[in-house]
Amino acid sequence: MRNDQSFAGLTDKFAKNIYATAKGKIRLAVLERDLEPLYTGARPLSVLDVGAGIGQFSQNFARHGHNVVHTDIADEMVAAAREQHQAAGLSSYYSYFTAPLQELPDRIGGQQFDVVLCHAVLEWLADPASALQVLQQFLKADGALSLMFYNRNAKLMANMVFGNFDYVEADLQVKKRVRMSPQQPIAPQQMEDWLAQHKLTVMQRTGVRCFHDYLREPLNAERFEQLLRLELKYSQTEPFSELGRYQHWQIRHAAQ
């Protein structure tokens, strides 16, 4: 795969623009709610976090005694994650690799994992479809893939709401790339087709930011807490879940 996006040189900006904002807090809250049954379970799990960035979410697994392999394409992201995990007293649960997703089979070998996390990664790849084959080979027969991807349908809807009709008519394409904006949003039906090709099935579907990205006015702290409650309440209820800016799907091998 060529022209995959890396966040080298953008670690601070990424942390500030994503995790320190309302949209980042909603993302983390939804993921924590969805995956709590996995990381609070009694059995120790092996976890692979692909494109893990600064490693915030996987700390939920480490805090409950699960071992995590943290990977990212950018050296400085991995270094920042290592510092964060050390500060939290969790570094003994981690191992680290700096590599793009496509090189992980050579770096990690034949290891398979109980849980594979791949959050907000595929939409940055030049060939997101082929990445599923790589992820699948790391998944144990009874393992769970936590996949979060940028929803093309929601991007189209948001741009219609805000009156960007020319952009929609141009099929969501622009001449000048915005580095912090995903360039390969994925339609859920397209993802369904890719998963079927690899004999993977969706066990649970959640919309991430079903309402936030359509708001026209900024939120104060009190209204954010109310919004967060409503996001969590409706994130798995159609039709709202389908409008989530991201889709979080829990995926397993299809029954034989």
Per-residue HEC secondary structure of 119-183 comes to ECCHHHCCCHHHHHHHHHHCEEEEEEEEEEEEEHHHHHHHHHHCCCHHHHHCCCCCCCCCCCCCC
Q: Is 72 annotated as a binding residue?
A: yes
Q: Is 205 annotated as a binding residue?
A: no
Q: Is 166 annotated as a binding residue?
A: no
CA dist list (Å): 218 to 5, 23, 163, 208, 233: 29, 12, 18, 18, 21
3: left (phi over 0), alpha (psi -120 to 50) or beta: left
Handedness of CA 171, 14, 112, 96 (dihedral sign): positive
Q: Is 62 annotated as a binding residue?
A: no
Handedness of CA 117, 121, 122, 126 (dihedral sign): negative
Of 199, 213, 209, 195, the C-alpha closest to 248 is: 209
Contact 48, 71 (CB under 8 A): yes
Q: Is 52 annotated as a binding residue?
A: yes
Residue ranges for the known binding site for S-adenosyl-L-methionine are: 27, 51-52, 72, 119
Residue ranges for the known binding site are: 27, 51-52, 72, 119
